[in-house]
A and B are shown apart, each in its own frame.
Chain A
């Protein structure tokens, strides 16, 4: 296998790794947040919902810019990480991963929240009167009755991460093997007029995205799939 092929495969693997880790992390933190937003009432709720939805309307470069500021050792969060963990997040895979998790929040949380609110309240109330705790009710009653929403959330998050460009280039730059994901590689190859390689990347991203969306639509029938 020549260097170009190896580079090509590494870039795709890195893209999959970033999307996979982002989806997994968001899956773990997304459920409690979605549950909290779906069922709890508090006066700051509209603000929290607006903040979570911000990545859907905000240019990725804005978030990337603020993430870079946060990662900088000249500012408190970056300085804390540098002093206590000897870590610098700017232009690293971990830095891109954190930015990607924040940027993909609404794609995980909103379908989960919608899935939870679509389950009749009487299901939870019945489980409570049968003596079941909120956690038992969540695991045995709510989760099994919102499988399409869970698949939609995971697939949307994964697909969105695969296509991420703005945040990754702002926070991670274009470092092969570290932060150079497929969407950046396409831009890079086009700039270098390597249209054949750009086409290969593009075609693979196209097929993956198509397969994921087909999966989501097949899970949800004719229903509108998200939000």
Chain B
């Protein structure tokens, strides 16, 4: 179980925002952090990974304290054993696909690397360098590398945002596969309702740094948490109804 109770002042274009999250995430949960840009989703992910220090609070994974501002405990990322997948995948350009994956391992084990290559359908690409890969292939390599470290928690920062719609659909399957293989906590940042609905087992909705709801994926459709494009569509529909606009018929 991952217990989070943190506060962090975030700098944004609109001024300072206070990120305040208090939550408990159960084992095997695939949690989605949902909300508008600047809500604090990525900051929360970075705090969990140990890349950003909260102002105060406490983070505990099972019996291990990762962060405790009162006791001045702040484990570095190396000791938290998390797998963090950045938006741009950050594959190391000097390493082949196979080397990128084996670099993630704590102890070298070629058999496990071969299994991951097989699992993510990367065998044929194992000697390729990242610059030769498509977005979808990079995403699979980054997932395989994160899994190679056998992390306690898998953190995915908008893992599918750089891909086109069809690729996103296909790779949602890979994320689910990675989550099931690890059999632990996965936390994913997403703006995409469809993605949240298909992948998440639970959702935290963030707005201006504050948790406004913790719910099941289906529940976010009931509330007005929709991202910009949905609001835009909704506004157009409402406007059309109000102003009696007539679209041409063919």
**Out of A128, A140, A144, which one reaches B76, CB within 8 Å?**
A128
A128 to B146, CA, bound (A): 12
| Residue in A closest to B150 when the chains form the complex, CB atoms | A131
**Out of A128, A131, A133, A145, which one reaches B106, CB within 8 Å?**
A131
Task: Tell me, yes or no, whether B35 is within 8 Å of chain A by CB.
Answer: no
A194 to B45, CA, bound (A): 72
Task: Tell me, yes or no, whether B88 is within 8 Å of chain A by CB.
Answer: yes
A123 to B92, CA, bound (A): 7
| Residue in B closest to A125 when the chains form the complex, CB atoms | B51
Task: Tell me, yes or no, whether B57 is within 8 Å of chain A by CB.
Answer: no
Q: What 1/0 flags go to B59-82 for Cβ under 8 Å of A? A: 000000000000000001110111
A144 to B81, CA, bound (A): 25
**Out of B50, B76, B86, B93, which one reaches A126, CB within 8 Å?**
B86
Are A129 and B83 in touch, CB under 8 angstroms? yes
Are A123 and B90 in touch, CB under 8 angstroms? yes
Are A145 and B92 in touch, CB under 8 angstroms? yes
Number of interface residues of B (CB under 8 A): 23
- Chain B residue numbers with a CB within 8 Å of A123 are 90, 92
**Out of B78, B82, B93, B104, which one reaches A145, CB within 8 Å?**
B93
Task: Tell me, yes or no, whether A141 is within 8 Å of chain B by CB.
Answer: yes
- Identify which of residues 80-110 in chain B touch chain A, using a CB-to-CB cut-off of 8 Å: 80-84, 86, 88, 90, 92-94, 103-104, 106
Task: Tell me, yes or no, whether A130 is within 8 Å of chain B by CB.
Answer: yes
Which of B50, B83, B90, B93 has the largest count of A CB atoms less than 10 A from its CB? B90
Are B86 and A122 in touch, CB under 8 angstroms? yes
- Chain A residue numbers with a CB within 8 Å of B49 are 125, 129
Are A125 and B106 in touch, CB under 8 angstroms? no
Are B78 and A128 in touch, CB under 8 angstroms? yes
Are B78 and A133 in touch, CB under 8 angstroms? yes
Number of interface residues of A (CB under 8 A): 16
| Residue in A closest to B142 when the chains form the complex, CB atoms | A126
Q: What 1/0 flags go to B210-238 for Cβ under 8 Å of A? A: 00000000000000000000000000000
Which of A125, A130, A132, A144 has the largest count of B CB atoms less than 10 A from its CB? A130
| Residue in A closest to B76 when the chains form the complex, CB atoms | A128
| Residue in B closest to A134 when the chains form the complex, CB atoms | B78
Known: A126-B84, A140-B103. A132 touches B78 (CB 8 A): yes
Interchain nearest-CB distance for A148 vs B (Å): 12
A176 to B134, CA, bound (A): 62
Are A126 and B149 in touch, CB under 8 angstroms? no
Are B94 and A128 in touch, CB under 8 angstroms? no
A130 to B49, CA, bound (A): 10
| Residue in A closest to B149 when the chains form the complex, CB atoms | A130
Task: Tell me, yes or no, whether B145 is within 8 Å of chain A by CB.
Answer: yes
**Out of A120, A131, A133, A140, which one reaches B90, CB within 8 Å?**
A120
Interchain nearest-CB distance for A87 vs B (Å): 44
A131 to B80, CA, bound (A): 8
Given contacts A130-B83, A131-B81, A145-B92, list 7 more A-B pairs with CB under 8 A.
A120-B90, A122-B86, A126-B90, A128-B51, A128-B77, A129-B78, A130-B103
Can you offer 8 A-B residue contacts whose CB atoms are under 8 A? A122-B88, A126-B84, A128-B77, A129-B51, A129-B83, A129-B84, A132-B78, A141-B92
